[in-house]
Structure 1
Amino acid sequence: MNTTPFDLPAEDRELSPHTGFTRAHWEAVADGLLGAAWRWATPEGALLDLPGRPSGSGVRSDGLEGYARTFLSAGFRVAGAQGKDPHGWLERYAGGLAAGTRTPGRDDAESWPLILDHHIQGQPMVESASVALGLSLTRPWLWDRLDGDVQDRAEKWLRGAITHTPAPNNWYLFPFMVASFLESVGRSDGATTRAIQRALELMETWYEGDGWYRDGDGRAFDHYNGWALHLYPMLHAHLTGDSALSERVGPRLREHLESFSLLFGGDGAPIHFGRSLTYRFAASAAVGIGAVTGHTPLSPGASRRLISGNLRYFLDRGGVTDEGLLSLGWHGPHDATLQYYSGPASPYWASKGFVALLAGEDDPLWTATEEAAPSEGPDRVLALPAPGLLVQSTQADGIVRLHNHGSDHVRPFEGESASDEDALYSHQAYSTHTGPTSKANPADNHLSVECGGVGSVRRRIHPLGAGQGDGWGWAASWHRPVFASGPPMVPGLRVESVTVARGAYELRVHRVVGAPHGARVTLTGWATDALHSELVGLHGWDRRDEVRAPQGTAYEPWVRVPRLAADVEGTAVFVALAALGAEQPNTPLADAVADVALLDRELTVRWADGARTVVGFEPPHVQHG
């Protein structure tokens, strides 16, 4: 059922048995979003001042963001239709470009803000990449028809991205895209060459393996891999015909999609992990550009199942308001999903999902029969040693879980502070069907050491390894507990964590080292009230209860969280079994394990079906059979 205010075509369940969506649905959604957003444009169309709370960059920057990010939708829409523009979108963006660059920096109705260093007035640099990409995509029908003085003004404004300093992460791809466009229209020089080379050099240092890039010099692995770090270089190579770059980054995209394609639930939901989640169906951008360029392990039917399932997931769950606008949140509005830089137009980075429209209407992406998504196949466990992630999916309920043993949001030059804890990275596990609880509520999927009544948080994550076998896998890490009051750290205190995934079971093993007298340790499970969440202590735990999180999550307005607790001093090992599912299983979770034994720093778990898992600590290793 169409739950959006847009007029969508009839579903085609023969061609698309899983979603009913076709290429025509994608075009209709793009047109609907554009029409709704343009109702908030300034008289000459330079700014789209969408309603809502302003970002930390201010309303003028937010207005530019509205122009630039919707321009991405229009660019993919028109370019994919070989210049056909029945709604006249490009005429509007041409007018806005001329007005916005006429007197940039002025405080009037139309002028765009200047692009300065990221720490001064940085957000316009982000938007310059969208403007440049929109111009690249529509060059024959927009840029080539502009007056020369408008082209010169646009170049001058765009060059601000090249002459100023980006943030030390994926932001280096913004001047990269600006330089890519300028060189494509014959306006290259040493500065554009350096901007491209610098970004590509950094990309090499950030590539960790398994198809995953670090977002900067730290260890942040998240959705920015798909909608930035893979997308921009591939688009540059595709649009400019840079075959050498395509041969370098294309195989990485293919490898990325081997794992990332599993991070979409059976209902189309992307994994709820990392920042900027309000970009929603931009999560499918990597799948789309893989299909467009051929650098993908997925069949066309599986690719369309992922992108259309992802788009429909949010359309069916309130991601679009009654006015046709993308809201700030997840399903609908949700403050905890947002960051300080989120403004009314921020969700329109979802426009990157429309990259799939660059595949023409006769492309197999749109003509092949839709196939099942990877998470709709047999139960899978996939270990990713490079980023330190463990992926677990179950066919019966379509739930995908991500166990995090390697991705944090602490930059290398930063200290660890509990006040900077980010629940979208710091927890032990995430899924396609649950979200983390708010800071004001008990944390889900979290191991906390309490000293003096103050609970710890997990900040910098140190991966210790990952691996897999037939139907099972593991990942391990360690961290220093950080406290919000009193001493920020306890000398000698550390926590080593191992997750072993098998079917729907999650064996969670933690070794606490150096706990002071009077300390307490707690472990929580999945936060939900609609699904079945269970957490059973197998070794070391002596208390079990359930806590409430009244602020809920991005999925539910009110949730429960199972919890285990025990006193701890010195070094101790704690073992638990967790499970998340659509329904309560027929067999009690506690009956899944027959015996647990700890001997000589090695833990042996005998499962009820006869299998045995051995977890060693020095160094961490796991055996299963």
Structure 2
Amino acid sequence: MHLPAEDRTASPHTGYTRAHWEAAADALLAAVEPYAAEGGALYHLPGDRTSWTGRLSDGLEGYARTLLAAAFRRDETALQRYAEGLAAGVAGAWPRIEDRTQPLVEAASIALALRLTRPLLWDRLDDGVRQRAAAWLGDALTAEAWPCNWELFPVTVGGFLDEIGYETEASRKAVDHGLERIEEWYVGDGWYTDGDGRKFDYYNGWAMHLYPVLHAWLAEDRRLLDLYGGRLSRHLRDYARLFGGDGAPMHQGRSLTYRFATTAPLWLGALTGHTPLPPGETRRLASGALKYFLERGAMDSRGLLTLGWHGPDTAVLQGYSGPASPYWASKGFLGLLLPPDHPVWTAAEEPGPAERSDALTPIAAPNWMLQSTSSDGVVRLHNHGSEDVRYDPYYTRLAYSTVTAPASSYDNSVIVGDDPSRTEIEPLGVGDGWAASRHTAGAGARVTSVVLARGAVEVRAHLVTGAEPGTVVRMTGWAATEGLRAELSPAAGLSDELTGVCGEGDSLFVALARLTGEEAPVPLGETVSVAADGTGELTVRWSEGPEVRVSLGGPGAEVVVAQSDPAGAH
């Protein structure tokens, strides 16, 4: 990929400008063009992997997701190719949209692209093609969606079909139904779960906020835009803190192969005027993420996005991940809808939250605490409230960061017996420098956990209840990462090997942890001391900061964290 020279005056942090985003979009579109098939209706990208939806569906995915990039780029030459592909697709090359099938997902991308580029694409099509396209999309209005972010795909299709006057009653009904469904999953402060349960991840940004806000904006519906835009703005206060100083998004959740689609909500806030972020900070965070991936092998020698995070990486894939799946990254080019003279493109870059100062940020809705250190730009997420319906290392580990990935050796876990699982997570609160939860572990034991943090240092405490006497408990910390120092040391109830044994009744295990880019940090033992009585009561004394008393209690009891006046700290 050939990019323009960096501009360190306008963009002192990344060097990237609008021209870099345009060049990246152009390169991605040029790279996929040779793989068009069936008159441009399908894009069969190379690779030895087929998603569980099948090759035909994967080909449609290639068309729909790259069309989004062309729509945001407003490239008329590229859009003409996609117009020809649309005609071939609705003439019979595309599979039908049916209940809970992948074409429903891709229909949303196609409808959104058509709505955004209507004068450039849709309005130039022959009447027959338009009729067949509307009919093909129309199946999305009544297709059953999976009960998660999929409910928004009929909303997106319905918004476009209503605009062009096709089946307006059914279209509006689909919009209303989908928007009603997501209300069940809104938990406040700008956060949604992705369906039932407590699944918190990037689907908040690139789906749950993106589709309703764009629909309201395009429909010029002030009431809806105030509602969904207000939620987006609140979400961005937390969301901006999920990016590290090196531009990396937090390595947590599913579908991470979409990579810089993580920038979509940042651009969306600027596009619709619903953001708390200054224009220069928005561009710095978004450009930082794009640059992070482009410099770390996200594209192969042919210029194609690979299935992975940096380069190819099967660990971040799901069964639905096919060769074209990474191209939901196209959502990251949403910012190109902003005109070149918009402040988000003309303002000087401003540092992101991870670069400005050390911070401990409680996020109540998912029951997370974010811990960032400006000296190394690392952001750590302490997860005490998010899980998937199955054990998933990208949801259920105790902590994640912008510089590490979940390890197969069960990093950031408390392992009771031989079972590393962490299920039935019950959030117990977050506060100033702490987060707590309770979960089920091996052999039916319940574990009450609390983490306290200051700077880069963490105190991790786990009270194990209901385990058989003699059950071995093992704690793990951060996975080793090049250029960073990962530490874990026993503080109470643990041997030097970080194992302990459950006794009669409740058993408390405490360790000190740290993930840092500092070359010679102060020894952990000099930063904090811990006194514990083994039954769930502990006192934490920071060398610089408050004394903290913690009571973990037993099952059903609350976790109580009380801080003394910093002046009285030892």
TM-score over 0.5 for the alignment? yes
Superposition misfits of 4+ residues, deviation over 4 angstroms: none
- Count of residue correspondences: 557
Do structure 1's residue 507 and structure 2's residue 459 form an aligned pair?
yes
Q: 2:539 corresponds to which residue?
A: 604
Cα displacement (A) at 1:190 = 2.7
Task: Kindly provide the CA deviation profile for residues 101-140 of structure 1, in whole angstroms up to 9, marking residues without a partner as x.
Answer: 112xxxxxxx11111111xxx1111101000011011101
| 1:21-170 correspondence to structure 2 within 5 Å | 21-52=16-47, 53-78=49-74, 85=76, 88-103=77-92, 111-118=93-100, 122-170=101-149
Q: 1:457 corresponds to which residue?
A: 421
Q: Which amino acid aligns with 1:230?
A: H
Q: Which moved more, 1:566-575 or 1:320-329?
A: 566-575
- Give distance in 1, aligned partners of 2:262 and 2:488: 30
Task: Kindly provide the CA deviation profile for residues 75-124 of structure 1, in whole angstroms up to 9, marking residues without a partner as x.
Answer: 1110xxxxx63xx0111111000001112xxxxxxx11111111xxx111
Task: Kindly provide the CA deviation profile for residues 483-513 of structure 1, in whole angstroms up to 9, marking residues without a partner as x.
Answer: xxxxxx43xx200111112111111111100
- Give distance in 2, aligned partners of 1:390 and 1:601: 21
Do structure 1's residue 478 and structure 2's residue 417 form an aligned pair?
no
Tell me how large the CA RMSD over aligned residues is: 1.3
Q: Which moved more, 1:346-355 or 1:157-166?
A: 157-166
Retained in 2: the 8 A contact 1:543–1:566? Answer: no
Do structure 1's residue 230 and structure 2's residue 209 form an aligned pair?
yes
- Give distance in 2, aligned partners of 1:281 and 1:38: 21
Cα displacement (A) at 1:208 = 0.6
- Give distance in 2, aligned partners of 1:324 and 1:594: 52
User: What's the secondary structure of 1:517's corresponding residue?
Assistant: coil
Retained in 1: the 8 A contact 2:410–2:420? Answer: no
| 1:1-400 correspondence to structure 2 within 5 Å | 6-52=1-47, 53-78=49-74, 85=76, 88-103=77-92, 111-118=93-100, 122-400=101-379
Retained in 1: the 8 A contact 2:243–2:249? Answer: yes
Find the partner of 2:415 among 448, 453, 468.
448
Task: Kindly provide the CA deviation profile for residues 246-296 of structure 1, in whole angstroms up to 9, marking residues without a partner as x.
Answer: 110111111111011010000000000000000000011110101111111
Cα displacement (A) at 1:189 = 2.8
Find the partner of 2:496 among 520, 523, 543.
543
Q: 1:533 corresponds to which residue?
A: 486
- Give distance in 1, aligned partners of 2:98 and 2:401: 38
Cα displacement (A) at 1:610 = 5.9
Q: Which amino acid aligns with 1:539?
A: A
- Give distance in 1, aligned partners of 2:392 and 2:558: 28
Q: 1:422 corresponds to which residue?
A: 392
Retained in 1: the 8 A contact 2:380–2:402? Answer: yes
Retained in 1: the 8 A contact 2:463–2:536? Answer: no
Q: Which amino acid aligns with 1:448?
A: I
Cα displacement (A) at 1:540 = 0.8
Cα displacement (A) at 1:599 = 7.8
Find the partner of 1:498 among 446, 450, 455.
450
Q: Which amino acid aligns with 1:457?
A: S
Retained in 1: the 8 A contact 2:187–2:193? Answer: yes
Do structure 1's residue 517 and structure 2's residue 469 form an aligned pair?
yes
What TM-score do the two structures reach when normalised by structure 1? 0.87
User: What's the secondary structure of 1:200's corresponding residue?
Assistant: helix
Retained in 1: the 8 A contact 2:507–2:535? Answer: no
Task: Kindly provide the CA deviation profile for residues 30-84 of structure 1, in whole angstroms up to 9, marking residues without a partner as x.
Answer: 0100010111001510000001111111111000000000010001110xxxxx6
User: What's the secondary structure of 1:587's corresponding residue?
Assistant: coil
User: What's the secondary structure of 1:543's corresponding residue?
Assistant: coil
Task: Kindly provide the CA deviation profile for residues 127-158 of structure 1, in whole angstroms up to 9, marking residues without a partner as x.
Answer: 01000011011101111111111111111111
Q: 1:623 corresponds to which residue?
A: 562
Retained in 2: the 8 A contact 1:409–1:460? Answer: no
Retained in 1: the 8 A contact 2:161–2:168? Answer: no
- Give distance in 1, aligned partners of 2:212 and 2:509: 45
- Give distance in 1, aligned partners of 2:382 and 2:242: 12
Cα displacement (A) at 1:527 = 0.4
- Give distance in 2, aligned partners of 1:169 and 1:363: 34
- Give distance in 2, aligned partners of 1:333 and 1:437: 16
- Give distance in 1, aligned partners of 2:422 and 2:213: 35
Q: Which amino acid aligns with 1:481?
A: A
Retained in 1: the 8 A contact 2:508–2:536? Answer: no
Q: Which amino acid aligns with 2:431?
A: G
Task: Kindly provide the CA deviation profile for residues 509-543 of structure 1, in whole angstroms up to 9, marking residues without a partner as x.
Answer: 11100111331101100001411000111111123
Q: Which amino acid aligns with 1:11?
A: E
- Give distance in 2, aligned partners of 1:586 and 1:126: 48
- Give distance in 2, aligned partners of 1:506 and 1:112: 53
Q: Which amino acid aligns with 1:238?
A: W
Find the partner of 1:588 among 506, 523, 546.
523
Do structure 1's residue 467 and structure 2's residue 431 form an aligned pair?
yes
Q: Which amino acid aligns with 1:575?
A: V
User: What's the secondary structure of 2:58's corresponding residue?
Assistant: helix
Q: 1:568 corresponds to which residue?
A: 502
> More helix per residue: 1 or 2?
2
Structure 1 stretches lacking a partner, 5+ long: 1-5, 79-83, 104-110, 411-419, 483-488, 545-563
Cα displacement (A) at 1:455 = 2.1
- Give distance in 1, aligned partners of 2:530 and 2:95: 65
User: What's the secondary structure of 2:464's corresponding residue?
Assistant: strand
Cα displacement (A) at 1:608 = 2.6
- Give distance in 2, aligned partners of 1:60 and 1:501: 50
User: What's the secondary structure of 1:272's corresponding residue?
Assistant: coil
Cα displacement (A) at 1:179 = 0.1
Q: Which moved more, 1:37-46 or 1:272-281?
A: 37-46
User: What's the secondary structure of 1:67's corresponding residue?
Assistant: helix
Q: 2:567 corresponds to which residue?
A: none
Task: Kindly provide the CA deviation profile for residues 212-254 of structure 1, in whole angstroms up to 9, marking residues without a partner as x.
Answer: 1111111101000000001111111111211111110111111
Task: Kindly provide the CA deviation profile for residues 336-361 of structure 1, in whole angstroms up to 9, marking residues without a partner as x.
Answer: 11111101100000000111111100
Q: Which amino acid aligns with 1:568?
A: C
User: What's the secondary structure of 1:400's corresponding residue?
Assistant: strand
Retained in 2: the 8 A contact 1:16–1:370? Answer: yes
- Give distance in 1, aligned partners of 2:277 and 2:168: 39
Cα displacement (A) at 1:211 = 1.3
Q: Which amino acid aligns with 2:427?
A: P
User: What's the secondary structure of 2:508's corresponding residue?
Assistant: strand
Cα displacement (A) at 1:597 = 3.2
Cα displacement (A) at 1:601 = 4.3
- Give distance in 1, aligned partners of 2:252 and 2:530: 34
- Give distance in 2, aligned partners of 1:223 and 1:575: 31
